[in-house]
Structure 1
């Protein structure tokens, strides 16, 4: 397989034997046409490696300044099983195994901006390195949590701030399931509101996505076309 997954050794090891029913993982009404078209007209694409991550994001800050993002990423059960394949998760070693796994995932993601893109207009906002990364198990799912501090505090603006989290090649579906999965610190919530925007790809973009053969090189423009975004709408000063 030519596709290269960067999230973890798990995602890089996924192959055509990892086949999921796409219809159980549809994220929004606006995505239905794309996925139904894939199911109906391009069944060979089921062999593509795929993984699903359900996300929660908390935006930290106060006094009109954003200081960082706190993440919770829940991997689907099948990906979680591959993640632990061959690892020692006995009672005596599980904690150390999870610690090493979290460090490996974070190190790999660092070179992809942690798959997290924060913009002021068209200007990207920079991060420091991840802090407090850890894995925990939630029944059949592995859950990764970490803090992503900004390189320097970012003043809130009225309408120009937005956050996107996605795999550029779209081999990994990363989604907030509802607007409740993105939250603000109490101080920021006094002056800002969040708007979760669903993707709206064109028919041409959908057609292109369907046309990709199983062994195609990843197209790193696809992820942004089919991802959600969060826009921040803030007042100039904190509400009293």
Structure 2
């Protein structure tokens, strides 16, 4: 995802910049109001399915150290209670993400591909970073019809860096591998859009249109063999 920052500008015409936000964190967990943190979420996605249909998406989201610290702030992470705490937080995160479609937008042209609600997720921690793992089963299997599908994962309101580092972070289930092609498209916001985003104060009302302007798009096409 392409991000801006009102406090730090990196080299380059527009650079790989990030905006200070806490909107996604507020939706993920019930955090108290505080200064806006930077938030980076590295995503890995596996497309699930058979040689006839796509059946779901398997996610692995790894939060940066600062976001992890906010997530665990005030929680009992002692060895005796850690597993229970992680289970509780994972359940809370999944419940809170439901209203935002799990920040995951899957389309065939302009038609959304819908998925079921998720009952469970798994939260783990290693080297100071938390990882949320969960699967999004589709509402019904989506046939491999050769259509160009698009997948975006982003916070539509605030700028949190939710991104695949590269195309290797996207994979297909073994039975889909011979049927699917993919292309990861980086965002290309206009100068006017960048200027508008940079002009917003940190306490501005949310702009629901900004998120997708600065996010990556995964394009994929899958076709069953006759």
Of 176, 193, 196, 1:188 maps to: 176
* DSSP 3-state at the match of 1:208: helix
Alpha-carbon distance in 2 for matches of 1:74, 1:3: 16
C-alpha contact 1:159 1:231 (8 A) present in aligned 2: no
Paired residue total: 204
Alpha-carbon distance in 2 for matches of 1:219, 1:49: 18
Root-mean-square deviation (Å): 1.7
Alpha-carbon distance in 1 for matches of 2:131, 2:137: 20
C-alpha contact 1:70 1:148 (8 A) present in aligned 2: yes
Alpha-carbon distance in 2 for matches of 1:73, 1:238: 33
* TM-score normalised by the chain length of structure 2: 0.85
| Match in the other structure for 2:136 | 148
Q: Compared with structure 1, are the counterparts of its residues 163 and 14 closer, same or farther at alpha carbon in structure 2 (3 Å cutoff)?
A: farther
What does residue range 158-173 of structure 1 map to in structure 2 within 5 Å?
158-173=146-161
Alpha-carbon distance in 1 for matches of 2:124, 2:185: 29
* DSSP 3-state at the match of 2:59: strand
* DSSP 3-state at the match of 1:200: coil
Alpha-carbon distance in 1 for matches of 2:67, 2:115: 27
C-alpha contact 2:91 2:120 (8 A) present in aligned 1: no
Is residue 98 from structure 1 mapped to residue 86 from structure 2 by the alignment?
Answer: yes
| Match in the other structure for 1:119 | 107
Cα deviation 1:80-135 (Å, max 9, x = unaligned): 01111111111111101000000000000000000000001101111111144110
Q: Which has the higher helix share?
A: 1
| Match in the other structure for 2:11 | none
Alpha-carbon distance in 1 for matches of 2:222, 2:93: 33
Is residue 15 from structure 1 mapped to residue 39 from structure 2 by the alignment?
Answer: no
* TM-score normalised by the chain length of structure 1: 0.80
Q: Compared with structure 1, are the counterparts of its residues 84 and 95 closer, same or farther at alpha carbon in structure 2 (3 Å cutoff)?
A: same
C-alpha contact 2:55 2:142 (8 A) present in aligned 1: yes
Q: Which structure 2 segments of 5+ residues have no match? A: 1-20
Note the C-alpha offset of 1:3: 6.8
Alpha-carbon distance in 1 for matches of 2:91, 2:151: 24
Alpha-carbon distance in 2 for matches of 1:80, 1:183: 26
C-alpha contact 1:3 1:218 (8 A) present in aligned 2: no
Q: Which structure 1 segments of 5+ residues have no match? A: 17-47
* DSSP 3-state at the match of 1:106: helix
